[in-house]
Amino acid sequence: MKTRITELFGIQHPIIQGGMHYVGFAEMAAAVSNAGGLGIITGLTQRTPELLANEIRRCREMTDKPFGVNLTFLPSLSSPDYPGYIKAIIDGGVKAVETAGNNPAKWLPALQAAGVKVIHKCTSVRHSLKAEAIGCDAVSVDGFECGGHPGEDDVPNFILLPRAAEALNIPFVASGGMADGRSLVAALALGAEGMNMGTRFIATKEAPVHDNVKRALVEASELDTRLVMRPLRNTERVLTNAAVERLLVTERERGAEVKFEDIAAEVAGVYPKVMQDGLMDAGAWSCGMVAGLIHDVPTVRELIDRIMAEAESIIGKRLAGFAAG
């Protein structure tokens, strides 16, 4: 299946694995790339540029296909060594970067001078247009269904994707709620050139996370996510657990007076405990509503092959059948 996204990144299938904290290691990225998608290493999971450079080398040993790095630009007092991370990406020969968070304009010239294609993650049309204006090569349009940070507009993909298609000239992929061939065909029908999957890739055999995490995703329904940190305007969609429900009680009780310090125990330093140790009540971790569509734990290749076969069947048979009438 050829789209502007497959052409841009030199991949076989229009499927991108989103950057995920303590999931996007070399093993995950290489598995997705080897199966024909675009695997992504999560840059800031690596605590230093030197560690990222090593992770890129490890991934290069596992695949000869294109893969990328996610780099999230955070508003923080002690900012990560972004010049160092950019250098590690360029020196490592990586040709695709998924940026997220703050405006990446400052970092685009160095990346693009090195031949790196940049896809920026956006939760609104206005941010997507800004990404296009500053020179990003593509956009990942994140609907309200997504795991992680859906923004503050609460617009689901059935509205957001066609609006993006109306407004943008650069290609974009659909992110949020993406799980199978139906998702891919729907995304293409609404104007996207592919899809970005995060949560669905966690429930695969190669995902370097504890089996408890994969089991939780299979057992969860579409009703089992919660929105936290909404009063702080840093909304995050997470899988519910005991810590998340405690956090929500704190937010309700404190109301507009709530501060990050009030909920820090439920959100700070959580990912290693959940993803690596399998402590499912340790705190809040990102998960999309798409958990309701996750029923098994296949290999990455089985998942991607299944998605493409289902998509081609829907396009060639089901939809063609409607047109025949």
Q: Where are the domains of the chain?
A: 4-208
Q: In the structure encoding, which two tokens stand for residue 224, read together?
A: 């089992």
Average the pLDDT over 82-101 and give the result: 98
Cβ proximity of 3 and 182 under 8 Å: no
Encode pLDDT of 234-293 as tens digits: 999 999 999 999 999 999 999 999 999 999 999 999 999 999 999 999 999 999 999 999
Give the 3-state secondary structure of residue 273: helix
Q: Is the pLDDT of residue 77 over 70?
A: no
Fold of the domain built from segment(s) 4-208: TIM Barrel (3.20.20)
Tell me: the pLDDT tens digits for 208-226?
999 999 999 999 999 999 9
Q: What amino acid is encoded at 130 in this protein?
A: K
The DSSP secondary structure of 53-83, one letter per residue, reads HHHHHHHHHH-SS-EEEEEEE---SS---HH
The mean pLDDT of the chain is 97
206 pLDDT exceeds 90?
Answer: yes
Strands 195-197 and 172-175: parallel
pLDDT (tens digit per residue) in 94-152: 999 999 999 999 999 999 999 999 999 999 999 999 999 999 999 999 999 999 999 99
Phi, psi values for residue 98, rounded to 5°: -100, 115
Q: Which tokens is 172 given?
A: 């974009």
> Do residues 18 and 40 lie in contact, with contact meaning Cβ atoms separated by under 8 Å?
yes
* Mean pLDDT for the stretch of residues 315-322: 95
How many other C-beta atoms are found inside a 10 Å radius of the C-beta of residue 93? 12
C-alpha distance from residue 157 to each of 1, 106, 220, 278 (Å): 22, 29, 21, 31
293 burial level (CB within 10 Å; 0-12, 13-18, 19+): middle
Q: Is the pLDDT of residue 199 over 90?
A: yes
